[in-house]
Every structure is written in C-alpha cells, then in structure tokens.
Chain A
C-alpha cells in the first residue's frame, strides 16, 4: 500500500517488494486460494448479514436460489474481471493504480480505504462487544446509538484492545486468525444444525425433520417468511441476488483482491473464490439467519433486536461467546491494520503506529454506535459503490486501452502529477452512482453495475482528452526494459532462495494435527449431527444439545491449543529450513 512514486530506472534490489510483480517461483496453486477464500469469507460479518436477510423479509426460495445466483455472479466477477488483471500484472491494486494514475489518485484512493476499513473494523468491534454484553447481562442495544453506559464501556474496552493489538501485535493476531478459519466454518454449520430441531419443535411440536421439504416448510414459515420486520412483504430473489453480488464489489469489480489473486498461477484460479462465496456467503449466511431467527423466536424477541453475541451464545453455548469474540476481533484487527496502512500511505511521513493509533481513536468512538454493525449490508454495498469506479478505471486502462490504440501507463509516461482523467472519472462516477441512488431508479445494490460502465466510459473519454491516445515510445521502452530487469532479478532470486515448502512428516506433527482435526472439528460436528438427526423427541434433543454444549467448548479449547502449536512448529521448521539453505555447503 505504498505511495512512493514509481521510478522504473531505480535499482530493482532497492525497490519495495510491493512495487514489484510477484515472481513466478512464489506463485501458488488452486488449493491455496480455495483455502484462503474459505477463510476470508467466514467472519463475524456473516452473523450480521445472515440476520439482515431475515429482517429484510426474504422468502425461503429467494434465499436458496437468490444467494446461489448472486454468489455465482460474484464468482464469475472474480474469475473474469479480477483474476485476469491480477495474473497479467502480478501487482496489487495499490501498486497498479499508482503506476496508472500516480500519487494523487493513490492518495485519494487510500483516504477512501481508511474510511471503509475503519468502518468495518468499528462494526466488528461492536459485534465482539455484543458477546461480552450477553455475558454480563447488559441490555441489548437496539437503537442506532448506545443506550447503556456499560455497553459503551465494554465496546471501548474491546476497541482499545483491538487498536493496541493492531498497532503493536498485529502479526500474532494474523497468525491466530489463520488457524480460526476451519473452526469458524464448523461452528457456523453446527450452530444452524443444533437449533433446527428446536425451531421445528417450536412450530410443529416435533423435533424431527423427515425431508428437505420439511426444512423448506419450517424455514419458510419461521425464518425466511417473505415478510420483513414490520410485517410487510420483504425483498425478493432479485434483491437477494443483488445483495450477494454487491456485498463484495470492492473485492471483485473494485479489484482489491488483486492483492490475493496476483499470486495465482492461472487466471482460472479466480474460480477458487467459490469456496468463500458458496460456503461463507451461502452456507454461513443461511446458517446465521437460521440461528438468528431461532434465537429471536425462542427468546421472544425480534430478529431486529437480537445481536450476534446473543445469537451465538444461544446456538453454541460457551463456544458461541468464543466465536463472536474471535471472529469479530480477528476481522476488526485485519481491517484496522489495513486502514492504518492506507492512512500511512496518505501521510507517508507519519509512522505507521502513530497513524494507526489515530485511526484507531476514531474507530473506538464509532464502535460504541450499534448503527454501524446493524447497517453492515448497505454499508458494504455503498463501500463497493465508492471503490468500483477505481476498478473501472483500471479495467479500462488494462483491457480496453491496448485494444483501442491507447497507451497503457500513459499518464506516467506523460509525467502527469495529477491524473485529472482518473480523479475526474472517480468524481463523475460517484456523482452518477449516488445520484442514481437518490433518484431511486434502480435498487441500490445494483448501482455498482451502471456506475462501473460509466467509469469506464468516462475514463476513456477523459484519458483521450488528456493524451492517452498518443504514443510514448520512450516511456514504453523504459517500461519494457524495467520488465526485463524484473524478470532477471526474479530469475536470480529463484536460483538462490529456497522456496520449496518443507514437508513436516514427523509423528508428533501428525498427532497434533489429528488431535485438533478430530477433537476440535470432527467431534463438535458429530455431536451436532446427533442433535439434528438423532433427536426423536424433545427430551433426547435437550440431552443431545446439553452434551453438545458441554463437550464443544472443550473441543474449542483443544482446537486452538493444538492448532496454534502446529502453526508454531510449522513456522519453526520453515525457519530452520531457510537457515539451513542459506548456510554454505561445507
């Protein structure tokens, strides 16, 4: 996320890694992306978004099919828009944008990122705080503003910890977050599983579901009823699909995920995002909605009122407290860290710790306002709308300019300090997008689509006016030379660096892995399976459920202890291998 001006003439070895394309020897296979996306898209936000669909009054088939359509469109967007640019350039969006549009545009873009990531971070801190609220019996926060001093104190306390960790111990949290993903996936699934019999019993008097059609009937009558929280007809399939597609626009149309997909060996790895979309944004959203509605029904409240802490605690017992705190905290940390980096790029002379602390201060205040997390889905949608024009600019420069005879990197070659076409396009697109929203002509979650096309068209027109159609042979030659030097540098790197991952075949590592996979993941799943499919009556259901609660918290503890141990061992082994490779042969 550096904002340092790009100089193709400088020494490659002196350049920041972020300014260089990813070398071929550091590319990853399909499985890496499948895992990465599965982990990235099962987070605390899923609790909020899942419940939002219920509150907005989606029907059961709207959810089952609408989410499928929306998420499929999101996968296609990753595959056809993000991955090709990422693989062609091997650069992050920040770097590529800087090359295309220069410092001023990058700085503006980073300001937007500070705002967006700061808001997401604040929302996730509030989500974590709801779990603590539930634990200390602090009243639920149903208004946009806080109504309990104790809740404010809890939110601020959680936020302060998050900020301090983001400033001083981010790497440790990142490591910890990396082991959370499999456990979060299992917990999201089992949370829905264990509440389904209760929901069925609550409606029909029977804890058993005899078929998928029973599930559809019960879920359709109790969770996705087609009526919103005010009892009026809710959103339909078109809206659900739109929300699902728009929820990640800043990642695909907005191209932020170039940062991840630049490591992909092939463009087709964009399809690996399907693990995140179809698991995190399908199964987890459905499961979260189910948990939220069941909790609301059985605690005699409204889905509008129950917060993630209460839902998770009700569905998963003590493990629910852990899931909300962990999922909220890790998501908040990652986003605050990103916001800090973006802020540093805006103020390159201020140290990262200081600038992150300043952003954190604003986040601490914002986290006391439940409004932010309650509006997560629209906020994400509008965040996407803000960033999509940037994706349009890059798309035009990367794909369209070479086809219509324009010069890629023309602004840099021309030596423009301020890329008026890029900044102007962004401004015009935002006015168009938000203006269209204000006119209420199309649903707001589809605003990103015309806005993207407008940004492409506007950028082509403005860029032409400012010299994109001209030829810059010197600049192009310098760029070619630079690319050749980079390729040489990478070849040297590949020859000297040990980049083969060390395969840990020790018995201890296998035992550790077996313990956290079997006890930490398989046991809670099997227990939840028993709750769902082997509870013929309410007595057996309660017995199975209590067993699930009692055992799963210990499974959680065991999972984290052993998974973290495994992570530490694996890192130590890799470090040892690197040291061994760098020592001269005797």
Chain B
C-alpha cells in the first residue's frame, strides 16, 4: 500500500513536472509595419490561445529596414527569425537558393487551390509554394469623387495618363492643401521604383532588352521620368521625394490628394471609418498610355519560413493560421468585412457580404487578374516581374536607381543625369552578374 502511494505520488510529481517543463516554443516573426500586418499582430491572441505551447515574438519594422534585416539574416543563415514577411520578388529567388522551407502539406481545410493563380504562381518555385500570401495586391487609381464632381470631371474606368495629368492639374488647390496627385517618391526598390517601373511599362519602357542591355538611355524612360517629375513638381505634395506608401495614404485619408495611384491594398484604409474621405473615394484601373500595358503591378506580402529556423513545425502552424480562410472570417467578425486582407483568395471575391462592404473589391480583383508578370512590358524582355525584375541583383540596382530618380524629383540632379546614372550603374551590376554566371544569360 505504502509502495503504491509512493508510486502514485511519484507519477503525479513527474506528470506535473512534465507539464511545467513542457518546452514553450517561441516564434520570432519579422513583419512589415503596414495596417494589415499590424492587425494580424493584434488578432494573433486567438492563435496563442489555441496553441498555448507557442509564444509569438514580433519584430515590426519599416519596409526598407525589414528587407535589409531579413535579407541579411537569411543570406547569412543567421537564424534570428522563424517567420518572415516577404514578397513575390524574394520568394522564388530565395527558394532557388534553398533558403526557404517548402510549404506543402498544409491542412486540407487550408484550400491552396482557393488562392488566386497569379499570386500563387508568384510565390512558387518549380511548382512548389515557398510562401503563403497574407494579402495580395495590384495597383489602381484612387480618386476623390467629390472633387471630380465639383470640377465636372468623370473618371473613366480605364484612365489614360493624359487624362490623369490633365485632371490632376485641374483639381489642384494648393491654397487649401489639396494636391492634384500623390505618387510614391520615397526611394527604394519597393517604394518609388515599384511605381515608376510599372508606370514605365505603360510608357513602353523596359529595364533591359533581350540581351540584358539596360534601357534607361531610351526615349520611353525619359518620357516616363520627365512626366513624373514635372507632374509631381507642379501638382504633387511638397517634399514628395520623402513620401512613400504610408505617407501618401495619410495624405489621402486627410483629404489632401485628389488622385492617388498606389496599391489596391490601400482600398480598405481609405474607405474605413478612420478616413476623412471615406465616403467620397472612387476606384479605377491604373492608367495606361494607349500602348497596351497599364501601370498596374502585382505583389503579395506573404509569410515564409527560413531554412535556418529551429521551429519549423510551429512556424508552419502559424503561417497556415494567419493566411487561412478562418483568419479572414476572424477579421470580418472583429473589424468588419472591408478590413479583411484582400487579394489572396478567390472565395473572398465570391462573398456577397465582402463585395457589398468593400467598394474597392471588384477593381482590386480586376487589377490583380489583369497583371501578367510573364509579359510585363510592351516590348519583349528576358525577365519576369512587373514592378521589379526577378533577378537577385534587382534589389541592389532597384534601390540605387530609385535613389537617383528621387534625387531628380527633389531637383538635386537633372533628369538626364539621373537616367545616365541609372544606365551606368545597372550596366555595371549586370556586367558583373553575367561574369559571375559564366557570361551566360542571367
């Protein structure tokens, strides 16, 4: 009897000890500081409640900083992060380098087939997904319906650049701090160069010809940058070269931009209750120049797991939760349908409640489906990607060229000099890249 009691007590102690000692897995998540991601951080309490053995540790960073931190960590196998916010640019390149974990074997109710094909394709390498989309986006035109009405203007469903330029000039009222147009000016390959590359595509420009010769010395790029700089200097907000997505979003919500061409993901933020202009925002496709290509891009912020993570299983559980249909429903329940992360799942655009609540939804879907990363330009190119060139060197040259164009926008250097600089540096980097790859095509 005594022995049995000792055994029972011992077993109880062991059980208690094992419960207490059960290893808590800490997931470190590197996350970009945009609205959708911040919301996810807030709602992740639900995940932790359902998975008490997993503790989430968030590293929230501004986009440019995040990219550098995350790239350095993954390239050097630093192992600081278990989950990364990456995009459609990084996913296939990093997957090719063996830096990411394949995200197959997700739960059946995850429904991979529901993810919009262009987004799924953008996050895959050799047919396997290496990141799952948190939200997807293209770009479109957001405009103030009240100001258009007042000026007697009608926004076409598919506006041209000529119309946009003309309307922006007419709508400008600097005395009341209303600027005709707000466009990205802050340097960065994911900031001003995302916009400018998409705009240049619609002007018939391209980064490289089929022989990988840079094309900044062509007329199409000159026309693009000239129009951009002139328009922004004339009717854009002050200090435009310091304004990126977040700054322009704030301006538009405060009623200071008549037209804003930017990410479709902004739709929910300009129409929600916090926006001063929530009830007077219209949406149209991104402009074109009549050459067959619009200035819309394709992007997805996605969650990926680095090979260097020591908590791959827990990380997989988290990324599946954060990009699932259930998460969309959770957001709808907590914050309403318009705030659901857009652009990833076909089922969302078949949801009547969402379509009714989100006035930007149809234009968002149309923009995403119209984006073709495999044929991004008017003339043929040897690369894929719309607002980026899907080669490892783009991160570097995109940032450098973005800085030169920002300098042209701020008037620090003339446009011709900026284009000359862009041509020179791109040529140098590509020459080096081709040398390193045995003089073959990249």
A contact residues vs B (CB 8 Å cutoff): 200-201, 203-208, 210, 214, 217-218, 220-222, 298, 300, 536-540, 542
Contacts and interface: CB of A to CB of B under 8 A. Distances in A.
A218 B396 contact: no
Interface in B161-194: none
Given A537-B403, A538-B429, A205 B76 contact: no
A204 B428 contact: no
Interface in B383-442: 392-393, 395-397, 399-404, 421-422, 424-425, 428-429, 432, 435-436, 438
B412 to A, nearest CB: 13
B403 A205 contact: no
Given A539-B401, A539-B421, A300 B75 contact: no
B77 interface: yes
B102 interface: no
A205 B395 contact: yes
Nearest to A536: B403
Given A201-B396, A205-B396, A300-B435, A539 B72 contact: no
A220 B75 CA distance: 11
B76 A542 contact: no
Interface in B33-72: 68, 71-72
30 contacts: A200-B72, A201-B396, A203-B76, A204-B71, A204-B72, A204-B75, A204-B76, A205-B392, A205-B396, A205-B399, A206-B68, A206-B395, A206-B399, A207-B396, A208-B68, A217-B73, A218-B72, A218-B76, A221-B75, A221-B77, A222-B76, A298-B432, A300-B435, A300-B438, A538-B396, A538-B397, A538-B399, A539-B401, A539-B404, A539-B424
B78 interface: yes
A244 B134 CA distance: 52
A542 B73 CA distance: 25
Contacts of A206: 68, 71-72, 395-396, 399
A220 B400 contact: no
Contact of A221 (B68, B76, B397, B438): B76
Nearest to A298: B432
Interface in B73-89: 73, 75-78
A300 B434 CA distance: 11
Contacts, number: 67
B432 A537 contact: no
A204 B90 CA distance: 11
Contacts of A204: 68, 71-72, 75-76, 395
B76 A537 contact: no
Contact of B400 (A214, A222, A298, A539): A539
Nearest to B395: A205
Q: Which 5 residue pairs across A and B have the least CB separation, nearest first?
A: A205-B395, A221-B76, A539-B400, A537-B400, A539-B425
A205 B429 CA distance: 11
Nearest to A203: B75
Interface string B111-126: 0000000000000000
A339 to B, nearest CB: 42
Q: By DSSP majority rule, is chain B's interface helix, strand, loop, or mixed?
A: helix
A348 B76 CA distance: 60
A200 B69 CA distance: 12
A540 B413 CA distance: 14
Contact of A537 (B393, B399, B424): B399
A210 B399 contact: no
A60 to B, nearest CB: 10
A217 B396 contact: no
Contacts of B73: 217
A206 B394 CA distance: 11
A210 B400 CA distance: 17
Contacts of B428: 542
Contacts of B438: 300
Contacts of A300: 435-436, 438
Contacts of B75: 203-204, 221
A145 B73 CA distance: 42
Contacts of B395: 204-206
A41 B135 CA distance: 58
A205 B432 CA distance: 13
Interface string B279-307: 00000000000000000000000000000
Contacts of A542: 425, 428
A206 B403 CA distance: 13
A399 B63 CA distance: 67
Contacts of A220: 76
A538 B400 contact: yes
B252 to A, nearest CB: 28
A214 to B, nearest CB: 6
Given A542-B425, A542-B428, 20 more contacts: A203-B72, A204-B72, A204-B75, A204-B76, A206-B71, A206-B72, A206-B396, A217-B72, A217-B76, A218-B72, A220-B76, A221-B75, A300-B435, A300-B436, A537-B402, A537-B403, A538-B400, A539-B424, A539-B425, A540-B403
Contacts of A201: 396
A293 to B, nearest CB: 14
Nearest to B72: A204
Nearest to B401: A539
Nearest to A200: B72
A263 to B, nearest CB: 48
A537 B421 CA distance: 12
A428 B425 CA distance: 64
Nearest to A216: B76
Contacts of B76: 203-204, 217-218, 220-222
Nearest to B73: A217
A201 B397 CA distance: 10
Contacts of B396: 201, 205-207, 537-538
A214 B435 contact: no
Interface centre among A204, A214, A539 (most CB of B within 10 A): A539
Contacts of B397: 538
Contacts of B435: 300
**Most chain A beta-carbon contacts within 10 A, residue among B78, B396, B436:** B396
B142 to A, nearest CB: 30
